[in-house]
């Protein structure tokens, strides 16, 4: 019997007045209900905003160290519940259990990192032209923060937004994607058990058109931080900006990995598969375009296909599984659309491209690891984010050509190059249009203490995580004191 989770508003678990629920299904077995959440109304959202606004007055007055203690306690409780949270994540969105455990561990580490932030400097002393005066800057919270998160990282992304918001004195309202809401609810249970004051952390589920839109429109919500699709993100940014609020958008990528002729081919192949197909390609930083110098193109392609054929696809709860299913029916259909589009536009299907239905896979949203050959930059699969296990191989002659092709998209989130040539490395660092630049490493992944965000259509140029997080979650006061 699955559990129905409630909204968490003002320190209490509440049912929605709509009386409706949203059920979350296991993508590895679409007949299995993992859990259900509330299909909330604007009325509940308005209450959450009011409760968060009320709680923020006292929360911001606490010492940073005291707020940090709450975050650290939540981290300890998450550690105690790591197995349960990770198992729920695997069943709800399909990634393998080791990946889910890794993500949950990362969430715990983020909480601990920002717990320590409460003891760090929140301003600077600035010399005044008046020798008898003291002048300094002081960071202050912005108020109530709406947090809108996607289904692909249902633990890490909410926490890397919530943790800095809280430590800097803001209160939060989390609206997760429906497909990740059960996992997110289990995270919120950890915050409840950590005894956060009522109204500091709020959780509300429902459709994006109602709750996400409502967060953008509600004047009691001072800022909105969003991760998701470009169309939705731009809409949220327009609404929040028009009413004078602050917004932060992370909206995906079409990330290139450049394979230079002097690279370590085995390492490059492994990184391409890991960065492109782990989590079934459902990462905003996944390697989608594989740009290979012509001198080694055939050799690289042969090794890539050989290793891709060895990938084990299956239920993420199975220890032998390397790649799980697409997270839901909608994403499954999107991936199939792009595979068909690639074939229609003249790319060569070198591997995969089919739905997997044998044996235990028959009830899941499984697609084979897919590799296209002879892809050109004007093709749809070279321009649009697929968010699935699809790699597009592209041949170039020079590193300059490779960088030009890499930059020939509207996105600019993450990019990687495999080379031993220092000149190529320095040129790549300078010329690539991406917020995350990686050398001899896969495109996916960023360390929690480092700034994360993209360029061009990938983001609103704000940065998340690490010390950079304070730029969004605080504003600045300049203080002048004269005796």
Which letter, b or e, does each residue of 272-287 get, where b requires 16 or more Cβ atoms within 10 Å of its Cβ? bbbbbbbbbbbbbbbb
Three-state DSSP at 151 gives coil
Which letter, b or e, does each residue of 415-454 get, where b requires 16 or more Cβ atoms within 10 Å of its Cβ? bbbbbeeeebbebbeeebbbbbbbeebbbbbbebeebbbb
Dihedral over Cα of 297, 301, 307, 308: its sign: positive
Structure tokens at 154: 């249902």
Query: Which is nearest to 144 in space by CA: 63, 235, 38, 216?
Result: 216
Three-state DSSP at 11 gives coil
Residue 286 annotated among the catalytic residues of the structure: no
Element (H, E) at 101: helix 97-117
| Annotated active-site residue in 47, 250, 368, 384 | 250
Structure tokens at 46: 């308005």
Distance CA 142, CA 223 (A): 7
| Residue 23 backbone phi and psi in degrees, to 5 | -95, 140
The CA–CA distances, whole Å, from 304 to 310, 391, 407 equal: 10, 10, 23
| Annotated active-site residue in 190, 284, 286, 326 | 284
Residue 284 annotated among the catalytic residues of the structure: yes
Angle between helices 297-308 and 265-277 (to 10 degrees): 50
The set of catalytic residues is: 250, 284
């Amino acid at each position: 019997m699955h559990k129905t989770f409630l909204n968490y508003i003002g320190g209490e678990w509440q049912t929605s007045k709509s009386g409706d629920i949203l059920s979350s299904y296991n993508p590895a077995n679409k007949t299995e209900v993992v859990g259900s959440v509330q299909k909330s109304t604007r009325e509940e959202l308005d209450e959450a905003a009011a409760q968060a606004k009320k709680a923020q007055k006292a929360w911001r007055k606490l010492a940073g160290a005291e707020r940090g203690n709450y975050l650290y306690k939540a981290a300890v409780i998450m550690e105690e519940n790591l197995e349960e949270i990770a198992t729920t994540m695997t069943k709800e969105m399909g990634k393998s259990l080791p990946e889910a455990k890794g993500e949950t561990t990362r969430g715990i580490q983020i909480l601990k990192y920002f717990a320590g932030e409460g003891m760090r400097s929140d301003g600077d002393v600035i010399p005044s032209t008046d020798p008898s005066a003291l002048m300094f800057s002081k960071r202050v919270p912005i108020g109530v923060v709406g947090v809108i998160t996607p289904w692909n990282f249902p633990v890490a992304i909410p926490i890397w937004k919530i943790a800095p918001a809280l430590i800097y004195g803001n209160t939060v309202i989390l609206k997760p994607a429906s497909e990740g809401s059960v996992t997110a609810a289990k995270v919120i249970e950890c915050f409840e058990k950590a005894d956060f004051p009522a109204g500091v952390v709020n959780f509300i589920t429902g459709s994006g058109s109602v709750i996400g839109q409502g967060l953008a429109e509600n004047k009691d919500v001072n800022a909105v931080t969003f991760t998701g699709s470009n169309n939705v993100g731009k809409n949220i940014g327009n609404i929040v900006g028009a009413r004078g609020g602050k917004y932060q958008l992370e909206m995906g990528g079409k990330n290139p990995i450049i394979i230079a002729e002097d690279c370590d081919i085995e390492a490059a192949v492994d990184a391409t598969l890991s960065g492109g197909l782990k989590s079934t390609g459902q990462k905003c930083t996944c390697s989608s375009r594989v740009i290979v110098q012509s001198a080694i193109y055939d050799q690289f392609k042969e090794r890539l296909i050989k290793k891709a054929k060895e990938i084990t696809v299956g239920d993420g709860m199975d220890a032998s599984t390397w790649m799980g299913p697409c997270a839901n029916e909608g994403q499954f259909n999107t991936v199939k659309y792009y595979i068909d589009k690639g074939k229609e536009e003249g790319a060569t299907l070198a591997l995969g491209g089919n739905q997997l239905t044998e044996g235990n896979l028959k009830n899941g949203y499984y697609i084979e690891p897919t590799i296209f050959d002879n892809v050109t930059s004007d093709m749809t699969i070279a321009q649009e984010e697929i968010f699935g296990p699809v790699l597009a191989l592209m041949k170039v002659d020079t590193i300059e050509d490779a960088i030009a092709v890499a930059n020939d998209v509207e996105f600019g989130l993450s990019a990687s190059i495999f080379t031993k040539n220092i000149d190529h490395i320095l040129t790549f660092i300078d010329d690539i249009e991406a917020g995350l630049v990686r050398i001899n490493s896969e495109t996916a992944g960023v360390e929690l203490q480092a700034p994360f965000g993209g360029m061009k259509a990938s983001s609103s140029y704000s940065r998340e995580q690490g010390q950079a997080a304070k730029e969004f979650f605080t504003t600045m006061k300049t203080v002048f004191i004269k005796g």
